[in-house]
Structure 1
């Protein structure tokens, strides 16, 4: 997650919301009609699975990451996806996720964990694996559970924690019948108890505020996983993990894992020169790897002399940057020769692909302006062809192009059900009728705005203006879905969540989440050319919405998706203005502060939506200082009914009832039309061909001890991935 440059919290005005309940009710009865059907993940793992006996012992896996983590403590505000990846390799987790995103006990640490009492209070009994020990030889036990609970309960403000959800419901933790049993008693029922103690830190880290706040930022002296943290080298941009000699499970096949920070636009080169063996990549790099597997034309070969014009055309067509393509003939030939050498090296790699456990949405800011009217938001939703948008992004990658039907789960997860019926399918006539009902008239008079007045839709266009001489900063991708919110933040129901001051604590740039950027259009794709409807106006103001996007290199495909959405909205008379803002301010200065009408960003799915999704959709409420507390609800759209359904879901211990409540909450979120899920994000990974049990993991937690390289002469499973064209 990115946490730099936290700006002052923007002052937000009070928000009046239209009730969604009446609109949602007709659909709630039907939202569970297919409950007996079990949705499958749209795409499975692609990790080149191989049995352990065919994997060589030893070797180093060099794995590209976006940055060296600022902290190794996942419960701190500046933890990121790299923090989580390290924790998965070196720390206990009572539950891990399987291929469908379900939490399952990890037998390396747990013999069992279950609710043994519900009256008068909920009691969970953990029976620990008797072989489970910390790297200093001490048994994992109740003392570690107690220390973590006290650190995360929210009762001691000396602990700088990013989240407390669930831990604040614990009343006490006791030793069970033996040292290997831990009894956790809750003060009130908690459905998502399986989310707790994953990861579990040793009491050395959680026992005191100083150790928690600072001691685990750059080192973890005591661990309990197949690997240990050997060093964190910020100068070399490396984190080195080595085999844990005290690991009691299946021995790790790899001797070492090096997490190396590599910019996204340098990853193809890093794969080619051997700097990394595994890297999340963008579609352009995936295409390069696909082309390398099939060879390709060499413009430098042959007896005839190729013209500079043809060389430049070839260079641009193959992804060389414009500076290289426009250099003189000698330098241009050197650049092409270097590219061809890299292509030869890339023949040793393949693309592994799946779908990330995250989805991209169109966010509609309902705090003020036209989108404060639910009818206008619903009109926007009815104007969108979500299937066409999913195809635009996923079909070129050979991935299933099916729109996401839930805000709270993805296909394959137990809580998933398509609740989009609460808003309805694309229907431009219905969209036009909703706009007319809201008072927006086709061809109505538009008054010239007075100096200082704002247009009906957009905020100021300050994001479009740059200081003199200010160049656009390079983008980490700048594509749709670049920003994943809340990846590692589980909310904070004891502290009321974030009010926007430091809102990018809930921001993870897409690379740090481990996936590929989310909007990919075929080269040359244009927005549809149907004639737009006449513009709409109300009270002398035109209906124009400000569509805020990050700027910088690599944002072209994001623009394509935004333009396609804008063209769809034009069919019903809604005009948009695309406002490009610097990448480093896109989220904290625009999304989190509410300075936008429309925007594209992504949310991760969760195995525990009752807990994790509540702050995302909670109804904004007045704060003590007179501002509005939006928690993580950056669309500012919420209802009392949704809040109540989340609260009920979190408090029931009946899994079927919890699932039904989650699906009802999702239907009401759809009806409120604050955010429109579009498609599940693609996950593209470049991997050495002989690297197995690693790649595009999908929902499942990686099994680090099974990763490795094929023995000489051994054959791996054939990859299901055809080269990306």
Structure 2
């Protein structure tokens, strides 16, 4: 699976967001997505993790989990933290309010007895009561000193700490010890609705207490942890991060002895699964197809395989091959025997792969993220909101969602919000603020903005005519060559006039030919000058014109119909640069991009598709603003008031003349949207805060800088013997419950050897 990074970052930890490739996959549709009478726009697709009670999960064994690469840092608050950082630290460090299956933050009883706002006036105060059994792996209790150290590191007041964000922490005025270190009082200088987002993950004071350990010490190791697992080793050359069961863990004991995160490139995951080097891996539809086919593979039953090498060999072809291999023609027999041996070897290899893959299941759901069409409004045609709205109203979002999700058997409801996804409490379809698909209305918006069919061509002619008129008005004298040419034309015109006078009686009925600049197209009559006797004559009125010419000398050739239908203004066509990733894991984005190109083409908007390498797509094009149209994804969040603001905030000019865009890579925003976010993040009443966010979302739709297209699919290959792991959807994994329902029979241990 290709991961083209889009960090959702200064507000929360930076997380890479995959641009997922999707192909055709025929596997059963998820059941139970909605029930009778439920509104499908507000129902989340359930997670698919093969749930099992802990007493059904065997104790012991090793699980190998594929990641893209060993993370650059284990400090989730640094700029280069990625999805692997999040996954690994989730098993090692406290998360006070992890997301549940509905995308809501839920108190984690392993770390907290309670946490609530105990005062609102004159200032907001939150009291945390920590689990009395909660300790770090060195035996020290988790307490107020850890909260204080993390606040100081992330508050933004000390630039020596290299942090990716400080949202929320900068609002804290002070942190105090309560009755003891297990009670933590946090006082805010300004109200903060998303206070539950803070201190997750919580690092020990040994990491956050000094810039040195924060900046460098936590990049490759964590000596002190407090999760169901502890860190044993990080080996970049081997591409592994190994975790062991934490003997000091006070909660439900981890079922696994060890958990190995193994770096496997997305394109090599089918082989890794077949070889047994990984038990769990995020996969693309091609690998999912291989697993689905493996379940139907028939081999070793005496007949030809259902698919794969040798599947297309009919009984008649097999008989002919056998006859050739045993025939008297030695050269033909040798060739036939070699071909038969090659086929046997290929069938054997394929059968072994299919046997291995048949031990896996494809767990699928929808990721807590959506893919959008981004319209760069910084300059050019898209700086006009009428053009952006016209493009948005040209898109058939349902068709685009269907193209990605329906082949996978997943619900294909286009997202209706930028700030929440279906199933989350704050979700409401706000797309009505933009309007439904309506190409006529889109064309009207474009016309209002000055973009009209053939506008570029008309402007060119008008410019030329204007130049000639200007030349006459200014009394410009023609050059010598021009003067001679004019005199020659006058002489020819005089001769032509005499000839016309002689032919006047025979051309009486052709009055149009006597009007300067008109075309003559008539029936083929005796005495007329035909262009070949085809029944239609066409003649330049000026003498000497070539038979078949339709216009006077100097008239531009008619433009093709396709060009006339293109939109233009002021001599320029409406053409947009559409940047797409070119990697093998980004096929679905290119498919969606092709459909968008066709939709825009239908109303006369030209697009220039530029395909770039995945590793440069975000950094060199999206973040830098080197695009007009682009596709990328944002993750969902339980804290949209905090996380959404930097994504949709109005860009501000910098002292050097550039724009400070934060994470608003579309460069589209407004003061009103910013004000609504600011009010929402300071509103402690949850319902009132959500109402403000819904208002902000409606205005984001109306601004048409970001058009959500579909919620991304989540496909995970999982060993069929594993329980409580797979496509988690919104929810955070509960690592201590993951394990094999039967004793592990295959798969490499932590050292990678079977």
Instruction: Return the alpha-carbon distance in structure 2 between the equivalents of residues 43 and 274 of structure 1.
Output: 30
Q: Is the 8 A contact 1:100 1:413 kept in 2?
A: yes
Structure 1, unpaired ranges of 5+: 5-35, 310-326, 450-530, 714-725
What residue is the counterpart of 1:467 in the other structure?
none
> In the alignment, is residue 664 of structure 1 matched against residue 695 of structure 2?
yes
- Residues 436, 298 of structure 1: alpha-carbon distance in 2 compared, 3 angstrom cutoff: closer
> In the alignment, is residue 709 of structure 1 matched against residue 744 of structure 2?
no
Any idea what the Cα deviations from partners look like across 1:407-427, whole Å, max 9, x if unmatched?
111011111100000001100
What residue is the counterpart of 1:214 in the other structure?
216
> In the alignment, is residue 422 of structure 1 matched against residue 433 of structure 2?
yes
How far residue 300 of structure 1 moved from its aligned partner, in angstroms, is 3.6
Q: Is the 8 A contact 1:532 1:570 kept in 2?
A: no
Question: RMSD in angstroms over aligned alpha carbons?
Answer: 2.5
Q: Could you say what secondary structure the match of 1:350 adopts?
A: strand
One of 616, 620, 632 as aligned partner of 1:601: 632
What residue is the counterpart of 1:180 in the other structure?
182
Any idea what the Cα deviations from partners look like across 1:273-332, whole Å, max 9, x if unmatched?
1100000000011111011011133544877766999xxxxxxxxxxxxxxxxx999777
One of 195, 201, 204 as aligned partner of 1:202: 204
Instruction: Return the alpha-carbon distance in structure 1 between the equivalents of residues 290 and 40 of structure 2.
Output: 37
Instruction: Return the alpha-carbon distance in structure 1 between the equivalents of residues 136 and 447 of structure 2.
Output: 66
Q: Is the 8 A contact 1:64 1:261 kept in 2?
A: yes
1:66-215 to 2 correspondences below 5 Å: 66-215=68-217
Any idea what the Cα deviations from partners look like across 1:351-389, whole Å, max 9, x if unmatched?
000000000000001011111100000000000111111
> In the alignment, is residue 363 of structure 1 matched against residue 367 of structure 2?
no
- Residues 298, 594 of structure 1: alpha-carbon distance in 2 compared, 3 angstrom cutoff: closer
How far residue 445 of structure 1 moved from its aligned partner, in angstroms, is 3.2
- Residues 65, 533 of structure 1: alpha-carbon distance in 2 compared, 3 angstrom cutoff: farther
How far residue 179 of structure 1 moved from its aligned partner, in angstroms, is 2.4
> In the alignment, is residue 46 of structure 1 matched against residue 77 of structure 2?
no
Structure 2, unpaired ranges of 5+: 7-37, 298-305, 322-337, 461-561, 745-754
- Residues 388, 249 of structure 1: alpha-carbon distance in 2 compared, 3 angstrom cutoff: same
One of 312, 336, 340 as aligned partner of 2:351: 340
How far residue 711 of structure 1 moved from its aligned partner, in angstroms, is 3.1
- Residues 334, 141 of structure 1: alpha-carbon distance in 2 compared, 3 angstrom cutoff: same
Q: Could you say what secondary structure the match of 1:131 adopts?
A: coil
> In the alignment, is residue 403 of structure 1 matched against residue 434 of structure 2?
no
- Residues 555, 76 of structure 1: alpha-carbon distance in 2 compared, 3 angstrom cutoff: closer
One of 382, 385, 388 as aligned partner of 2:399: 388
Instruction: Return the alpha-carbon distance in structure 2 between the equivalents of residues 243 and 427 of structure 1.
Output: 58
How far residue 555 of structure 1 moved from its aligned partner, in angstroms, is 4.1
- Residues 37, 580 of structure 1: alpha-carbon distance in 2 compared, 3 angstrom cutoff: closer
- Residues 307, 366 of structure 1: alpha-carbon distance in 2 compared, 3 angstrom cutoff: farther
Instruction: Return the alpha-carbon distance in structure 2 between the equivalents of residues 583 and 636 of structure 1.
Output: 22
How far residue 42 of structure 1 moved from its aligned partner, in angstroms, is 3.1
1:668-679 to 2 correspondences below 5 Å: 668-679=699-710
Q: Is the 8 A contact 1:299 1:306 kept in 2?
A: no
What residue is the counterpart of 1:442 in the other structure?
453
How far residue 126 of structure 1 moved from its aligned partner, in angstroms, is 0.1
What residue is the counterpart of 2:469 in the other structure?
none
Instruction: Return the alpha-carbon distance in structure 2 between the equivalents of residues 247 and 73 of structure 1.
Output: 21
Q: Could you say what secondary structure the match of 1:150 adopts?
A: helix
Q: Is the 8 A contact 1:350 1:688 kept in 2?
A: yes
Any idea what the Cα deviations from partners look like across 1:599-647, whole Å, max 9, x if unmatched?
1000011110111110100101011333210111110000000000000
What residue is the counterpart of 1:689 in the other structure?
720
Instruction: Return the alpha-carbon distance in structure 2 between the equivalents of residues 669 and 246 of structure 1.
Output: 48
Q: How many residues align structurally?
A: 585
Instruction: Return the alpha-carbon distance in structure 2 between the equivalents of residues 307 and 160 of structure 1.
Output: 72
Q: Could you say what secondary structure the match of 2:150 adopts?
A: helix
How far residue 656 of structure 1 moved from its aligned partner, in angstroms, is 0.9
> In the alignment, is residue 621 of structure 1 matched against residue 661 of structure 2?
no
What residue is the counterpart of 1:648 in the other structure?
679
- Residues 308, 129 of structure 1: alpha-carbon distance in 2 compared, 3 angstrom cutoff: farther
Q: Could you say what secondary structure the match of 1:646 adopts?
A: helix
Instruction: Return the alpha-carbon distance in structure 1 between the equivalents of residues 609 and 742 of structure 2.
Output: 53
> In the alignment, is residue 535 of structure 1 matched against residue 546 of structure 2?
no
Instruction: Return the alpha-carbon distance in structure 1 between the equivalents of residues 430 and 659 of structure 2.
Output: 29
Higher gyration radius (CA): 2
Bigger helix fraction: 2
Q: Is the 8 A contact 1:300 1:306 kept in 2?
A: no
Q: Could you say what secondary structure the match of 1:97 adopts?
A: coil
Q: Is the 8 A contact 1:364 1:674 kept in 2?
A: yes
Q: Is the 8 A contact 2:65 2:261 kept in 1?
A: yes
Q: Could you say what secondary structure the match of 2:584 adopts?
A: coil
- Residues 532, 167 of structure 1: alpha-carbon distance in 2 compared, 3 angstrom cutoff: farther
How far residue 438 of structure 1 moved from its aligned partner, in angstroms, is 0.4
Instruction: Return the alpha-carbon distance in structure 2 between the equivalents of residues 406 and 548 of structure 1.
Output: 24
What residue is the counterpart of 1:286 in the other structure?
288
Instruction: Return the alpha-carbon distance in structure 1 between the equivalents of residues 71 and 162 of structure 2.
Output: 17
Q: Could you say what secondary structure the match of 2:599 adopts?
A: helix
How far residue 339 of structure 1 moved from its aligned partner, in angstroms, is 3.1
Q: Is the 8 A contact 2:284 2:585 kept in 1?
A: no
Instruction: Return the alpha-carbon distance in structure 1 between the equivalents of residues 139 and 88 of structure 2.
Output: 21
1:457-536 to 2 correspondences below 5 Å: 534-536=565-567
What residue is the counterpart of 1:512 in the other structure?
none
TM-score by length of 1: 0.78
Q: Is the 8 A contact 2:581 2:590 kept in 1?
A: no
- Residues 328, 152 of structure 1: alpha-carbon distance in 2 compared, 3 angstrom cutoff: farther
What residue is the counterpart of 1:458 in the other structure?
none
TM-score by length of 2: 0.75
Q: Is the 8 A contact 2:4 2:614 kept in 1?
A: no
Instruction: Return the alpha-carbon distance in structure 1 between the equivalents of residues 596 and 249 of structure 2.
Output: 52
What residue is the counterpart of 1:354 in the other structure?
365
What residue is the counterpart of 1:636 in the other structure?
667
Instruction: Return the alpha-carbon distance in structure 2 between the equivalents of residues 83 and 37 of structure 1.
Output: 36
Q: Is the 8 A contact 1:366 1:372 kept in 2?
A: yes
Instruction: Return the alpha-carbon distance in structure 2 between the equivalents of residues 332 and 428 of structure 1.
Output: 54
